[in-house]
Structure 1
Amino acid sequence: MIVITTPAGAIGHQVLEKLLNCGETIRVIARDPSRLPAHTRKRVEVVQGSHSDSVVVNQAFEGADSVFWVVPPDFQANNVEKRYLEFIRPACEAFKSRGVKQVVAVSALGRGWPKPAGLVSASIAMDDLIASTGVAFRALTMPSFMDNFLRQVEPIKNQGMFFSPMSGDLKTPTCATRDIAAVAAKLLLDSSWSGSGNVPVLGPEDLSCNEMAQIISEVLGRPVRFQQVPFDAFKASLIESGASESMATAMVEMMVAKNEGLDNMEPRTAESTTPTTFRQWCEEVLKPAVLR
């Protein structure tokens, strides 16, 4: 049996779709099962509630062989790292008590980075706590997602611009959530691996924001340019959008670290290179969203 958390989330719903026909029993943990498509609800077992709840995870992990784990964002968190660890502690106890064999978790690149890195640091602390349970564990370590551009559809559409505190000329890896889901599904169906380790998911190429602006322009057939914003303005916009001081600080620390090369620490290999190019993603995902 495979248990999937965040089955309606950006990555979780794609993992679920890839596993529906795998022949394994699929169980999901969902706060609101009505968010799942009706055809999906008929084919999976549903445990309703939060996967931060001890009662919920103990019920969900009963008889489970593997678990796909994601911590959903909490933009009002008062302490981001504490929130990550408090969220997963009940699950870690349930991994042990229910005899879960394997866990695959969404994490981030950056192990070994010498400075605070906000959400990255919190993710790595979470990884260490999962690994300490003794369960076979794989952390999917990723750079920024191509899909994050969907948050900037309006300025791309109406202003011909997108914004980030990143340097416009810094080349970094970026990956599509569809490829993360594919890697996760493959691991969840493979019972042969053991121990703890990281699985980088780096996409097929390193691109700068300026290069991505050029690709977006070509795909949309209209000029789109990148605009770098100061980190203090980036933080202010997060708080204005409802983020707590702690979450805004964690986001800034992460972006500062990325701007200083955090995502470039992991050497690219054939195994860590995934297929979806940024141009392909723009054609298939961003363009329809902009033209909608």
Structure 2
Amino acid sequence: MHLITGATGNVGRPLVELLVAAGAPVRALSRDPEKAAAALPASVEAVRDGAEGPGTFPLEALEGVRTVFVNHAAVGDRTEALLRQAAEHGVRDVVLLSTAAALDEANPVGAHHRELERLVRESGLRWTALRPGVFHSNALAWAEGVRTDGTVRAPYGAARVTPVDERDIAAVAARALLDGLDGLGEGSALAGRTPVLSGPEQLSTEDQVRILGEALGRPVRFEELDPGAWRAGLVAAGVPEWVADGLAGHYARAAAHPVEVSPVVEEVTGRPPRPFAEWAAAHAAAFGGASAGEAPARR
């Protein structure tokens, strides 16, 4: 049995679908199991995450579980409790959704995830910590501006990153979990590793805006924002200051030192990672366009 936290999220949902397609039993932990059950394949067992406080975790969720996917965004400050109780209840493998920011010693988001990776390493479980870079879906933050006046407003237009598709992150996580459940001895070939996951190409922010416009069939304008003003806007919108600092630092670094493409997705899945253009075409409706498979609106 695989226990998936964050099962209805951008990575969790395709991960669950891949595990189910492989014939694996899946349990989804959710604050709203009825809603999760409606959103996920019928064979998935959705259980309530009703525990409160950093030292608690619902033990019934771990019954019969052998592998766990940990998304800290879903588990929060109970990650250490989950790992401790997982080890006590016969779980063998854990896969952590970390971040490529962990490579940057000066990045507070990276420091936060390095601490999570430490907890995983010291859990007594076989572990893998996946380090994806910028998600394709991060571009959804631009959707309102594109719909309103066809403009993306962001800092560091020249920052070159390697956006990765959430489905590719899920595919690597699925391989690690399935190998951990079915394999013998050392388990997954990813065990004990912190692989960086990326898309197939380096793209600047301006490149992504151009590709988005191509998917929409109309120009999308890029407007460079002052980094300080952008950061202040994030904080005003409720983003914690340390997260805003981490995001600003990441793009500032990428402007000076472009992020490198990683081969891991293709090595693990046997196919190239999905390009941003494919994601943009599939999600064009969010930006006021016609998604892939639909006829574009006439103007």
Which band: TM-score by shorter chain? 0.7 to 0.9
- Equivalent residue letter for 1:261: H
Alignment correspondent of 2:35: 35
Would the alpha carbon gap of residues 256 and 133 (structure 1) be closer, same or farther in structure 2, given more than 3 Å must change?
same
Contact 1:110 1:262 in 2 (8 A): no
Kept after mapping to 2: 8 A contact 1:118/1:251 = no
Structure 2: how far apart are the matches of 1:50 and 1:229?
A: 42
Q: In structure 1, what is the equivalent of residue 281 of structure 2? A: 283
> What does residue range 1-292 of structure 1 map to in structure 2 within 5 Å?
1-38=1-38, 40=40, 42-49=42-49, 55-72=56-73, 86-115=77-106, 117-166=107-156, 168-191=157-180, 192-193=187-188, 195-261=191-257, 263-264=259-260, 268=263, 270-271=266-267, 274-285=272-283, 287-291=284-288
The size of the alignment, in residue pairs, is: 278
Q: Is the 8 A contact 2:155 2:225 kept in 1?
A: yes
Deviation at 1:56, TM superposition (A): 3.3
Q: Deviations over 1:146-196 (max 9, x none)?
A: 111112211112222213323x22322111111111111122111332741
In 2: Cα distance, 1:49 partner to 1:235 partner? 33
Q: CA RMSD in A?
A: 2.6
**Matched position secondary structure for 1:64:** coil
Counting aligned pairs with the same residue, the percent is 26
- Cα deviation, residue 118, structure 1: 2.2
| Distance (Å, rounded) in 2 between the aligned partners of 1:69 and 1:33 | 17
CA distance in 2, matches of 1:37, 1:88: 23
TM-score (norm: length of structure 1): 0.84
User: Contact between 1:163 and 1:228, CA under 8 Å: does it hold in 2?
Assistant: yes
Partner of 2:295: none
C-alpha distance 106-162 of structure 1, shift in aligned 2 (>3 A): same
Report the TM-score when normalising by structure 2: 0.82
Query: In 2, distance between residues paired with 1:46 and 1:279?
Result: 34
Unaligned runs of 5+ in 2: 181-186, 290-299
Relative contact order (alpha carbons < 8 A, sep ≥ 6): 1 or 2 greater? 1
Equivalent-residue separation in structure 1 for 2:172 and 2:4 (angstroms) = 14
Deviations 1:199-246 (A, max 9, x none): 222111111112222212222121112223222212211122123444
Displacement of 1:2 after TM fit?
0.5
Which one-letter code corresponds to 1:188 in the other structure? Answer: L
Q: 1:209 to 1:39 in 2, by over 3 A?
A: closer
1:10 is paired with a residue whose SS is coil
Contact 2:83-2:120 at 8 Å conserved across structures: yes
